[in-house]
Every structure is written in C-alpha cells, then in structure tokens.
Amino acid sequence: MLAGVWAVYFAFGALIGTTAALVPTIRADLALTRGEMGIALGTWQLVYLVAAVPAGKMIDRVGLRSSLFVAAAVIAASAAVRAAATNLPMLLLGVAIFGAGGPLISVGAPKLVAQCFTDLSRRRAVGIYGTGPAFGSATALAGTNSVLLPLVGGSWRWALVVVAGVSLAAGLLWVAVFRDDAAVDGDDALARLPYRELLELPVVRVMLFLAVGAFFYGHALSNWLVDILETSGWTTREAGYWASVPVLLGVVATLVLPQFATEGRRARLLTGMLVLSGVSVLFFTSTSAATLTPALIASGTARSMIMPICMLVLMDEPQIGPRNMAAAGGLFFTAGEIGGVLGPVATGYLADRTGGFTSSIWTLAVVMMVLAALTMTRLSSAIGPPPSVTEAA
C-alpha cells in the first residue's frame, strides 16, 4: 500500500516537473508573458486550497481506496487538458483541474501512514512516500527536454499525454494493492474533533503559518527554477539538469533524515532547514557550477525535510492522532496552498516588473528567514517536551 501511494504521488510530481521543464516552450508557443504564465502556474494551488478541507472529509467518508484512485484520474485529466491548450484560458483550466486531485493525495498519504505505521516505522514511512513527488518531479525535470521530447517528436503536447498515461497506471496499481485490513492504529479510541477545535490547538496554528510560507517558497521554485537558470545564462537542457539536482538530493534526504526527526529534535531541525533554504536560494543566479552546485544541493536537502517534519508533528500530536489526521492535513494543505498560489504568481510578476529574478529570489529568502524565526520562538512550546520528560515531571 505504501508503494501504491508512492506511485500516485510520483505521478503528481511528474506532472509538476514536466510542466516546469516545459515553461519556456509553452510560454513561447502560446505567446504568454511571464506574468500570465505565473498566473497559469498558480491556478491549481488556488483550487487546491479550496478543495483541501473537502478532500479530508471525502477520505473520511468514502475511504482511501476510492479517494486516491480518483486523485490519479484527475491528474491524468489535468495533463490531457494542458496538452490540448491553445490559449491562456484553456491552459488555466488544465492546470486548475490538478488542484482538485492533488489534496486527495497530500491528505491521503499521511492518513495512511498514521493508520498503518507507528514509532520509527512511521518516520521511515513518511520519508518513503515523500520521495514519490520528489522523484517524479526530478525525473521530469531532468528527462523532459533531453529524453521525453525527442521520443515524442519534440511535441510538448504529447509529452503531457505520456504523463497522463503514467498517472492512470499509478491509479490502477493503487487499487490493485489496497487492503482493508492493513490498519494497526487505535483510531476508534480518539474522538473526531470539529475543525474549530483543531484550529484552537497551538501546534496546528503554528503549522498553518509554516505551511503558507513553505509552500510560497516551494511552489515558486518548482515552477520557475528552470526559467531562473535560463535567464542566468544556462541553456534549456542545462537548466533542466540543474533544476533536477535539488529534487534528486531531496529524494535521498527524505529517505534518510526523517527517521532522525525525533520529537525533541524537530523544532531545532526545522529551524535549521528553513535557514538553509533561505540562504541557498540567494546563489541560484550564479553562472558558476562551483557556486550553483552546493546551493542547489543545500536547497534540495532543506526543502525536502520541511514537509515530513510538519506531518510528523501533526501525526504525533495526542489530540490529533490517526482519526483526525485527514482533517488536520486538510487544514494544513489549505493554508499551504495560499502560499502555493502566491509564490508562482509573485515570482512571475516581480520578474516582469524588474526585468529579472533578483527581487523574486530575495523575497523567497526573506520569507524563509521569517519562518525560521517563528519556528525557533513558537514551535517548541507548541509541541511541548518529549513524552519522557513529561512522564518524569
């Protein structure tokens, strides 16, 4: 079942990465400005933030099996409509459709882990499913312009059709491996909280602020990094390769590091990752491989750790647990996609207004430093001391 979730999440990341790699090509073919392309890239996040809370309710009502298959089908439909786009409104529609399926995966994956894993295996499972979107995005960024486009005759439209097929295949795999008897949690022992009570929990409020800023940073880079690198002087193919570096490093980091994110370390570890993200982005306009390489590695490692730590904090909050994880996840991703909408749009707007990406990069750096200060001052008190300290007291 974890492999099935991973496959669906891979398709999720593959469509994001393929579109990002094709941004210059699509923009030229449809005669779009950077600002218009930024609006298109931010459309799915707008739908996502509206759909995230209903997605949590849908998962609780109809179950993970149907919900995640619907998610895979929606991703395939989004890729197909993007492939058929001939103007900005049709591209907006294709991207927007993605926002209806994405939250079912983002909320469903941690719900599955909360139900079926405990303790160290839970931290490892969060790391494993987290590599799905990262690996999908990295594969697409590195291979779209250099491998996939030549295979489909240079057509960006057929490249997106291939991604649609990958998503449908992932959905069928998920259905094939799903088991109703896999849950090992004590879900029935915990009451289901209304959203108002969840929002009153200090840890949830801190997580929502972190979600907005982290998604602002992450979605801005996911959609614009190839263009940032091209504008700095790298070729389209080189930019695709470079843009895949932080994502590939993120795959490794997501597999290895979450198991060390024990409760007592999470606030400090998250603060460090936020600072590293903010500093590293300042070097993304460099034309020197010696400078760009460590910056991309640092950014990929740091950015990949933010989401797993946030999910672990929510899963291990005693008043949330597996029963309330879908609802808490829905709130988290709703807040996050406010930043997810603003990130790509603001990046494209600032680039148009200033003639380059320097102001956008500084904006991303400042956002991450503010989040680091918030985490350092508020998260430790929100999650409280580790259980052993509480018991000793």
End-to-end CA distance of the chain: 40
- Written as six digits, the tokens of 386 are 């580790």
Coil/strand/helix, residue 70? helix
Q: What's the predicted TM-score (pTM) here?
A: 0.72
Question: Going by C-beta distance under 8 Å and a sequence separation of 6 or more, which residues neighbour residue 361?
Answer: 228, 281, 282, 284, 285
User: E strands of the chain, at which residues?
Assistant: none
CA of 237: how far to CAs of 144, 227, 249, 306, in Å? 9, 11, 19, 29
Structure tokens at 115: 């139900």
Distance, CA of 304 to CA of 109 (rounded, Å)? 16
pLDDT of res. 184: 54
Per-residue pLDDT of the chain (393 residues), as tens digits, is: 899 999 999 999 999 889 988 988 999 899 888 778 878 877 887 888 788 888 888 888 888 899 999 999 999 999 999 999 999 999 999 999 998 998 899 888 888 888 888 767 877 888 888 788 878 987 888 788 889 999 999 899 999 999 999 999 999 999 999 887 666 545 445 566 777 888 888 888 888 989 999 999 988 887 788 888 888 888 877 887 888 788 777 777 777 777 776 777 778 888 999 999 999 999 988 888 888 989 999 998 888 888 888 888 888 787 887 777 878 888 888 888 788 878 888 888 898 888 888 899 999 999 999 999 988 887 765 555 444 433 333
- Distance between CA atoms of 281 and 271, rounded to whole angstroms? 16
d(CA 82, CA 72): 16
Strands of 213-366 (E only): list them: none
Q: Which amino acid is at 228?
A: I
Torsion of CA 217, 218, 224, 225, to 10 degrees: 100
R_g over Cα of the chain: 20
Closest CA to 331 of 342, 320, 341, 318: 320
